[in-house]
Amino acid sequence: MGSTAAMLLRSVAVLALLTTSATTAAAQYWNSGTATFYGGRDGSGTMGGACGYDNLYNQGYGVLNAALSQVLFNDGASCGQCYNIKCDTGKSGWCKPGYSVTVTATNLCPPNYAITTNGGGWCNPPRPHFDMSQPAWEQIGIYRAGIIPVLYQRVPCTRQGGVRFTISGFNYFQLVLITNVAGSGSIRSMSVKGASTGWIAMTRNWGALWQCSSALVGEPLSFAVTSTGGQTLYMNNIAPAWWTFGMTFASNNQFAY
């Protein structure tokens, strides 16, 4: 009887430990930050930005977007990522309880070292902050608040259609903007290949723009792209041999993660 009681006690202790671990993991799933808004009631002022997307409607991102503080922007590596954000009702009375919104990272909210982090320098390191489009922000916060505490988590991105490539540059310099990326939303690495070349590694120029210095004009172009989630897609002959600078080509491929 004593042995059975001891085993039962141990089982209860293990169950309690597992429950505590699961609860802790769930609590850590949401991160704390703050959020403001910009760009006007229609979000038109958020077009363009440090990721290089220019017209966010044309690129598949729309008006539900945000500029990330420096610590979240990660020198452009976070461009295209998606975040689910809700107002932290435990810290503010300016929330819209029960609502959340998913936004795409399309811009940088630059730091302002002339003012303190808590005195208006909302995007100063090490603060995680979202300067959201006004239409997105007003889904979770009451306008008069101006700034609200939020809980956020990174989530998979959903896009319509395939990954897109816009080629700019000149002669021996290719600058490729990659857009409409699902899954992770952001890109870890990228390579290009012409009909007469092997795979040529590209480097991040800024934001979602990748570059290489090679003589590729007049050749069909293929791209090998790896998402930050670790998935690699080989997209062959995306641009035909007659491509010219300024053209955009859509693939039939899309990322799952």
Domain count, the chain: 2
Does 17 map to a domain?
A: no
The b-or-e profile of 204-232 (16+ CB within 10 A means b, else e) is bbebbbbbbebebbebbbbbbbbbbeeee
Does 14 map to a domain?
A: no
Residues 87 and 170 in one domain: no
Residues 148 and 203 in one domain: no
Does 131 map to a domain?
A: yes
- CATH number for position 76: 2.40.40.10
What is the predicted pLDDT for the residue at 60?
A: 83
Does 85 map to a domain?
A: yes
Among the three residues 136, 155, 174, which one is the final residue of a domain in this structure? 155
What is the predicted pLDDT for the residue at 13?
A: 40
Q: State pLDDT tens for residues 62-102.
A: 999 999 999 999 999 999 999 999 999 999 999 999 999 99
Q: Which domain holds residue 183?
A: 164-250
Helices (DSSP H) in 74-214: which residue ranges? 134-137
Query: Can you list the residues of the chain whose pLDDT is less than 70?
Result: 1-28
- CATH number for position 182: 2.60.40.760
What is the predicted pLDDT for the residue at 183?
A: 98
Among the three residues 110, 131, 155, which one is the final residue of a domain in this structure? 155
Does 50 map to a domain?
A: yes
Residues 80 and 140 in one domain: yes
Tokens 């309880």 appear where? 97
Among the three residues 97, 122, 155, which one is the final residue of a domain in this structure? 155
What is the predicted pLDDT for the residue at 1?
A: 47
DSSP 3-30: HHHHHHHHHHHHHHHHHHHHHHHHHHTS
Residues 120 and 199 in one domain: no
Residues 42 and 125 in one domain: yes
DSSP 215-239: --TTS-EEEEEEETTS-EEEEEEEE
